[in-house]
A and B are shown apart, each in its own frame.
Chain A
Amino acid sequence: MLLGLLGTVATAATPAGLVPELRVETLPNGLTVVIEEQHRTADVAVHLEYTVGSADEAPGQHGAAHLFEHLMFERSEHVPQGAFDAWLTEAGGQNNAWTSSDSTAFHMRVPVGAFELGLFLESDRMGFLDGGLDYRNVRNQQDVVLQERAEDYSVPHGLDFDVLTGLVFPQGHPYHQPVIGRISDVRGFGQDAAASFWRHWYGPENAVLVVVGHVDADAALDRVRHWFSDVPARGGDLERSAPPELSAVRQDGLLLSPVSDWTLYLAWPSPPELHADEAALELLSFILSWGRGTRLDDALYFDRRLATDCNAWLSPGMLGGMFVVEATLPRGRLVRAERRMERVLAEVRTRPPAPWELERARQAVRSDLLDQLESIEARAEWWATCTRLTGAPDCLDEVWARYAAVEVEDLVRVAETWLVPERRTSLSVVPEGYGGGLPGAVRVGLPE
């Protein structure tokens, strides 16, 4: 969308809130650059986020985005095999990456004296990764990714989230497939397919680069312009098609798993990120589960001895989210737990949260946000997320204003709108060798 635009310079508004002064520029090749001076440490955080995730994978390519996260650490045209990590750590830097359904982020933190090195490495893999892609490193990272999949899925409850997501978002929805992918697809993703995937999605027009740290904003911007000046724009269609409408189907799944306790998840599709109801739903999750005096925790754990753990959370997504409540049970009393969880949720309507409950939830969200913003890496990630979601890095004040504006009536309304029985999905996770699950639950799993 930014293809062909000339470089434009702007300074985002600086409200007296959460968003500081940010330097924002779109380079001629389409790369969005955001820079914030932060002088609390001698480090710089460099966060490069591409708007490509597992939701963008074609059939037969499931796992490609995550595999690509790995391949980006391999050889590029000017960075030999193994040098990315070696050069960075030798400079005192550290780095990592993550892939979600919606995006892939590469984040590094370097002493300011290695800032140029960080930019060199990021720009080289954005501009010239194809010069280093070969059979050997594709094959090796397929092995590593499949081993990561095996390790993740072999820990107790390691399968749960992916199975639950696959139930809430049915076949055909971009979120149906797990980010880690399918074994056959990962294994079948060859060197040519990798180069093609990279050319399509990992161009500057589809990315935002955020720099936060011990830099002069003008000088840092100059160095970014320099290092990314030879990275060509790619072109191509980066638009996502709209996801299919989720039908109102109540479904109950049963996962037999190598665990030693029972877990019951109840989940509902929730609106996409930044939807007007998102804030109220997240606050509701804290009202349900945030320690003593919250509704789910009291009903299942503190006042009764049904569960050993319980939780409520909102899983966000650009194309839609999930609202989840869960309980871990030492002795498989799933039906009883379900009844009690449903009762707690129904009571949101019949006994609306008191103002103090809402304020407590709001305080918890605010506190977490403010604590995060003390770290340069978290700041960089926030400015990137805002850019990805809204096109500008300074959405945080607006996001927070939505949380600040939520009233008790909103909590009741979103519960009535979104947490409806006919759209509920349940997943009973039961130790192998035991039967059970909720009545009528159908055995589910993940495709190989």
Chain B
Amino acid sequence: MVSLLSLLLLLLHGALAEGPDRSGPPPVDPPVAMELAEPVEIELWEGTRLLYVYLEGVRRVQVVVSYHLGYVDLFGGRRPVDWALGAQLSTASGRFEPEAFEIALDQQDAAVDSWVDRTDTGLRLNVAAENLEPAISLVRTIIEAPRFSREELRRTARDKRAWLSVGALADAGVVGAWALHYGWYPAEHPYGGRPDLRADRRLQPDALAELFATVQARAAATVLVVGPVERGVAERMARILLEDHAGTEVSEVEPSPPAHEVSDYAIDQGGSQVSVRLRVAIAGRDEPEAPALGQGLRALAGTVDSRLNGELREERGWTYGVSGSQWSSRSHGYWTVNVDVPVEHLAETVRVIEGHLDEVVGAGVRPAELEAGLREELAWWNRRLETAMSAGAFYQRRLDLGESVATARSRVVGLEGIVPADVAQAAQAWVGPDSRRSWVFVGPGAGIQAALDELDREVRWLTPEQAVLGEL
């Protein structure tokens, strides 16, 4: 009996000894940035090239046809015709009516979309690898003979009008985002084009055809092929797509940062919640401070464990979550912080956001926050080639930015060299109290006004329609 008890105790002791050690988190091996393949660049002829990446283990191929001129190059800013061309180009072709075109794509397990962006115009095909060739033939029918009809133009104009004059107006997120954008970029800025619903209605198919022909005639073009496809096939596909292409121009326009005095805005939309948005101007992406600013935003509002999320959600329980994003072109950029709170907490929320922003400016961020930011970026980097879609998006981004994979990798790995003082220095230079800032509040008017009175702050009041249409 004694020996049995001893044995049981021994077993129990052994079991306890082998159990998990919960006295602290287990050690973590930091991620190491994987080497991702550079695209192979093949010049097909002057002004036309193929960028090609062989990607194993995914089932789709992504093919992007990018013409290197966009609406800023062509018009100096957004026009109804370029918006309509982006919406219409991929919906039909000279050989296929819209319905036949869509059904043919579905049969090939393929999707096509199109756009006219600031510095490029493009078409993108996503297709199951086994159907690459027929899908390429389908896209070629767009490039050689696009189809634009009055009926489809009317439909897209009608949908846009219904969205901007009805659907969007009840959505605080949409209203706030547009108020912020149009307040940030005046109508005359290349990025500040306003919707013109009347002009949309007057658009004729010929105008779209003419614009696409101009793009094809003037712009250099790149075909990007990413997926499980051999180089010879990729090259043949690219030649089919861009047969006879002769354009050679590449966008070199870089709009200046907006310089007008910005305002704060409020929109009375009723309800009990306020959608709060803050935008702060930061450096362009090529400036030396840009990576440190990215780390600053991450610590402030960029993740679930950010300072603002910690205080406004985890401590005070006032919001479901704070989000932050950073956008930048070569010449300029901005941080945007978003949060929804009950209107009775609006004034204090503004103080909390400003307080944390001041803290980042004054003291930068903590080493642990920098380390977390670095590891998050490394983990993000290592996931780029997981799916056909993520890989396609990754290489298209490199194409859009005109940068190599090695440059992108060095930017991620380079975060390791950033120290807290770098963030403080960058924040002082860019997002300090004198920085260009704009607040937008969307929610119940009386409650917002009470909070503004408490904060001794003035805003410009807008209607939802003015915000959405950019009539500031």
Binding site for B on A (CB under 8 A): 40-43, 77-79, 82-83, 85-87, 89-94, 110-114, 116-117, 120-121, 123-124, 128, 139-144, 147-148, 150-151, 154-156, 226-227, 229-230, 258-261, 290-293, 302, 305, 308, 328, 330, 356, 359-360, 363-364, 366-367, 370-371, 374-376, 431
Interface: B162 (CB within 8 A): yes
Q: Would you give the shortest CB distance from B67 to chain A, in whole angstroms?
A: 26
Known: A91-B375, A258-B170, A370-B59. A143 touches B102 (CB 8 A): no
Binds A, one of B141-149, B183-191, B302-310: B302-310
Q: Is the CB of B107 within 8 A of A363?
A: yes
The stretch that binds A, out of B2-10, B207-215, B385-393, B396-404, is: B385-393
For A110, the chain B residues whose CB sits under 8 A away are 379
- State whether B109 touches A226 (Cβ < 8 A): no
The answer to whether A308 and B383 touch (CB under 8 A), given A123-B20, A150-B272, is no
Q: Does B30 contact A (CB under 8 A)?
A: yes
CB-based contact B372/A89 at 8 Å: yes
CB-CB under 8 A from B273, the residues of chain A are 150-151, 154
List residues of chain A with CB within 8 A of the CB of B57. Answer: 40
For B32, list chain A residues within 8 Å (CB).
42
Q: Which residues of B are interface residues toward A (Cβ below 8 A)?
A: 18-20, 22-32, 34, 57-60, 98-99, 102-103, 106-107, 109, 128, 158-159, 162-163, 166-167, 169-173, 270-273, 303-305, 310, 313-320, 340-342, 368, 371-372, 375-376, 378-379, 382-383, 385-389
A148, closest chain B residue (CB):
B320
Q: Tell me which residues across on chain A come within 8 A of B162, comparing CB atoms.
A: 261, 308, 330
The 7 closest A-B pairs by CB, nearest first: A143-B317, A113-B29, A92-B375, A92-B379, A111-B31, A374-B387, A78-B22
Tell whether, in the assembled complex, residue B305 and residue A89 are in contact, meaning their CB atoms are under 8 Å apart: yes
Complex alpha-carbon distance, A18 and B372, angstroms: 36
With both beta carbons as reference points, the residue of chain B lying nearest to A229 in the complex is identified as: B19
A–B Cβ pairs within 8 angstroms, 16 of them: A82-B314, A86-B372, A89-B304, A91-B375, A92-B375, A110-B379, A113-B29, A113-B30, A140-B314, A143-B317, A151-B319, A151-B340, A293-B99, A328-B167, A330-B167, A374-B388
Tell me whether A120 and B389 are in contact in the complex, defined as CB-CB below 8 angstroms, given that A140-B314, A143-B317, A154-B272 are known contacts: no
| Residue in contact with A78 in the complex, picked from B23, B169, B382, CB distance below 8 Å | B23
Picked from A83, A91, A154, the residue with its CB within 8 Å of the CB of B271 is A154
Q: In the complex the two chains form, what is the Cα distance from A316 to B24 in whole Å?
A: 41
**Which residues of B have CB within 8 Å of A114?**
28-29
B341: A residues at CB distance < 8 A: 147
| B303→A89 contact, CB < 8 A | yes
**Quick one: which of A43, A94, A117, A356 contacts B25, CB cutoff 8 A?**
A117
A156 to B368, CA, bound (A): 40
- Would A260 and B166 count as touching, CB distance under 8 A? yes
Q: Give Cα distance in the complex from A148 to B339, angstroms.
A: 12
> Judging by beta carbons under 8 Å apart, are A120 and B320 in contact?
no
A356: chain B residues at CB < 8 Å are 103
Taking a contact as CB atoms under 8 Å apart, the answer to whether A42 and B171 are in contact is no
Please tell me if the beta carbons of B31 and A113 are within 8 angstroms of each other in the complex: yes
Contacts of B102 in A (CB 8 A): 291-293
Which residues of A have CB within 8 Å of B20?
A: 120, 123, 226-227, 229-230
Which residues of the other chain, A, contact B314 by a CB distance below 8 angstroms? 82, 140, 144
Q: Are B320 and A147 in contact (CB under 8 A)?
A: yes
> Is A41 within 8 A of B26, CB to CB?
no
Q: For the complex, give the distance between the alpha carbons of A121 and B24 in Å.
A: 10
Residue of B nearest to A378 (CB): B387
Instruction: Flag if A85 contacts B305 (CB, 8 Å).
Output: yes
Contact call B109/A367, Cβ cutoff below 8 A: yes
In the complex, the answer to whether B99 meets A292 with C-beta atoms within 8 Å is yes
User: In the bound complex, do residue B109 and residue A376 qualify as a contact, i.e. CB atoms below 8 Å apart?
Assistant: no
Contact flag A43-B379 (CB < 8 Å), given A117-B25, A292-B98, A367-B109: yes
B103 partner, pick from A144, A226, A261, A292, beta carbons under 8 A? A292
CB-based contact A360/B107 at 8 Å: yes
